[in-house]
Amino acid sequence: MAKASQKSLTFESALSELEGLVASMEAGQLTLEQSLASYKRGAELLHFCQKSLEGAQQQVHALTAANTLQNLSDAGDLSGAEDIG
């Protein structure tokens, strides 16, 4: 995949292009060369999408961990207030 197109590529646009490639390959109207080129491009797009999803998953885990720590901290504050009463 060209570096210039990677910079402007989003997960959604990559997924849409990949779906289009799959549809055209499943239709069986491509030449052998077109099929090979589509397969290669599809593999590149799949790799891009997988990396994008992995990055998003890491962000979700980090945010979840930060939120869990904050909730534990808040719960500790509340339990301390209950002990005073």
The model's pTM is: 0.70
Would you say residue 62 has pLDDT above 70? yes
pLDDT tens readout for residues 9-35: 999 999 999 999 999 999 999 999 999
Give the DSSP letter string of 32-67: HHHHHHHHHHHHHHHHHHHHHHHHHHHHHHHHHHHH
Instruction: Look over the chain and give the mean of its residue pLDDT values, rounded to a whole number.
Output: 85
Is 3-84 CATH 1.10.287.1040? yes
Q: What are φ and ψ of residue 29, in 5° steps?
A: -100, 0
pLDDT at 1: 47
- Give the pLDDT band of residue 42 (cuts 50, 70, 90): very high
